[in-house]
Structure 1
Amino acid sequence: PGVLSKEITELTYQKYFSGEVPRNAAWSMLAELESGMQPTFYYADWYNESNKIAVGLSAVNFRRQYSEFKSCLSSLLPYSFEDIAFTVLTYESGGTELTRYAKSQIARVQEYLAYDKNVDLVLIDAYTDSYGGRSANQNVSEQRADSVKELFVASGIRQSRIHTMGHGERRHVASNQTIDERS
C-alpha cells in the first residue's frame, strides 16, 4: 500500500498459450515478490475484448518458499542436458590422449550422468583425420571410443548404458587440408 505500481515487463501471448513466462521476466517478477510487491498481469479476454482481466501474484508467505527454491537451485548442476548432449572432444594429434579442454568437458558429462539416471543410453562416436593409413585410423578411432567408455565406466556409469562406434576417417566435417580442419 502506498507504493505506485510500475511496469516491469511486457508479455505477449496468443490464444491457447502455454503460460510460460520468459526467463528475464520471471526473475523480475520473483524479485518483486521477494520485496513484498504483487506482480499483476493485465489482458483483455480473448473471447470478449471488453472484459479486462487482472491476475495478481500474492507475496503472502512467498519469502519462505522462495528461500527453499533458491536453496534447491544452488544445489543444481550449473549446466543442463542440452549443454552436454553433443559434447565434442578433441585429442592430441595422432593419438588417443584427450586434450586438457576435452578432459574438463568429459568431467562435466560424467558428473551429469552420475546425477541423471534417466539417461538410458550414451552414444560415443570417435573419428580421426584422413592422414595415415585407413586401417590405422579406424583402429585409433575405436581406441578413442573405448577409452572414453572406460572413463565413464570407471566413474560408475553402467557399461550397458554406453554404446561406442569408431568411424575412422569417414564422415569428415572439414576438408582436412589444414591443421585446424584436421583437429
Structure 2
Amino acid sequence: MTMSVCQFMFRKLAGLAGAVLSGGFALPALASSYGAGIENSQWYLSESVFECSLVHSVPGYGRAVFSHRAGENLSFFLESETSMMRPGRGQLVVEAPAWRPGVAPRAIGAVTVSDNRRAVILGNREATLVAQGLLQGMRPTVTRVAWYDDRPIRVHLSNVNFSGPYSGYRECVTGLLPVNYDQIRRSRVPFASGSTSLSDADRQLLDNIVTYVVADSTVERVFVDGHSDSVGSRIDNRALSEERANVVADYLRSRGMQEDLLIVRAQGDQFPVSRRHADNRRTTIRLQRQGERPDLQQASGPGTDFSG
C-alpha cells in the first residue's frame, strides 16, 4: 500500500527526534545577532582637519567606526569592551535587511578577528565596500564563532540614517591636512656629500610639516638637528652640519613656522645612524607635543640618533 505524504513526514520527524534524543544528531546552534534596529539606528559624524569619523552604536556589542585620518585612507573597525568573537577567520557579507526580502547577499570576503578591543579592522578597499553597501540600503554583517561556545556571532550595521552623515564625512575629507602627526613627528632630510641644497621632495616634506604644526596648537617644540658623515675633519663636519640645520630651519621659518618653536642644533658626525656615509648626511626634524616626555638629550650609545 502506498504511504501517504503525511505518514512519510511523520516518520521522518519521528526519526529525527529519536536521533536527537539518542545523541546521534546535533541541531545547529542558533546565532546571536547584534545590531541597531530602525528605531535606534544612528550615525554620528566627528570632523576636524586631523580626522573624519563616522561612529555607529551596535547595541549589545559595542560600536562600529569609519575612520579617515589626515594623510591616510579610509579604514573601519568594530570595537567591543569584551571579547565576544573567537580569534580567527570570520566572514564579511553585505546582505539585505529584513524589510528587503529577496535581495541576494554579496560576499566581501574573509576578515581577521582578533582578541583586541578592536576585534575587526578593515583596510581601505573593504571599508569602502562596506560604506557602499550601506548607501545601497544593505546591511553589512560580520560573522564569527563565539568566544565561549560554537554558536555564531553576527554583528551587523544598519543603513538607517547613514546617508546624511556620510555626505558630511565626504565634505570633511576635502579639508583634511596632507599628513598626520605620526607621519611627520620624526622626519629626515637627506643630503649629498658636501651639499646643503634642498630638493623639491624635501621642500614638500617641510611644507607639510609647517602646515601640520600651524594647525596643531599642542606642538610646543620643533627640534632641527644637522648631521654629517665622518669623512674629513671633525671641525669641517660640524660646520657643515650647522649649515644643513640652518638651511632647513630657514625654510621652515620662511613658510610660517614660529621662531619660538624652533630649536636648531649642529651635531657634526658624532651621532651616526649607519655605517653608510650617505645615511649620516642628514638633517632631522622632531616634533614634541605638550605632555610628551622629551627624548634624552644625550646619545645612549654608538649609532643612536637621539635628535630625530
| Deviations, residues 38-79 of structure 1 (Å, cap 9, x unaligned) | 1012233323323x3322211112111111011111211233
The separation in 1 between residues aligned to 2:115 and 2:193, in whole angstroms, is 55
Change (3 A) 1:128 1:16: closer
Q: Secondary structure at the match of 1:143?
A: helix
The separation in 2 between residues aligned to 1:78 and 1:140, in whole angstroms, is 31
Q: Which amino acid aligns with 2:139?
A: Q
2:184 pairs with 1:84: yes
The separation in 2 between residues aligned to 1:105 and 1:152, in whole angstroms, is 10
2:214 pairs with 1:114: yes
The separation in 2 between residues aligned to 1:104 and 1:47, in whole angstroms, is 52
Select 1:44's aligned residue among 111, 128, 145: 145
Q: Secondary structure at the match of 1:39?
A: strand
| Deviations, residues 144-164 of structure 1 (Å, cap 9, x unaligned) | 223322333343333333222
2:129 pairs with 1:28: yes
Partner of 1:152: 252
Give the unaligned 5+ runs of structure 2: 1-99, 282-308
The separation in 1 between residues aligned to 2:109 and 2:216, in whole angstroms, is 35
Deviation at 1:97, TM superposition (A): 3.0
Partner of 1:137: 237
The separation in 2 between residues aligned to 1:56 and 1:44, in whole angstroms, is 14
Change (3 A) 1:21 1:167: same
CA RMSD of aligned residues (A): 2.5
The number of aligned residues is 179
**Contact 2:113/2:120 (<8 A) preserved:** no
Select 1:127's aligned residue among 224, 227, 230: 227
**Contact 1:125/1:165 (<8 A) preserved:** yes
The separation in 2 between residues aligned to 1:16 and 1:98, in whole angstroms, is 43
Q: Secondary structure at the match of 1:88?
A: strand
Which TM-score applies when normalising by structure 2?
0.51
Partner of 1:94: 194
Q: Secondary structure at the match of 1:171?
A: coil
**Contact 1:89/1:102 (<8 A) preserved:** yes
Q: Secondary structure at the match of 2:247?
A: helix
**Contact 1:92/1:99 (<8 A) preserved:** no
Change (3 A) 1:106 1:174: farther
Larger radius of gyration: 2
**Contact 1:127/1:166 (<8 A) preserved:** yes
Structure having the higher strand fraction is 2
The separation in 2 between residues aligned to 1:10 and 1:95, in whole angstroms, is 51
**Contact 2:226/2:268 (<8 A) preserved:** yes
Which TM-score applies when normalising by structure 1?
0.81
The separation in 2 between residues aligned to 1:181 and 1:121, in whole angstroms, is 25
Give the unaligned 5+ runs of structure 1: none
The separation in 2 between residues aligned to 1:16 and 1:100, in whole angstroms, is 42
Structure having the higher helix fraction is 1
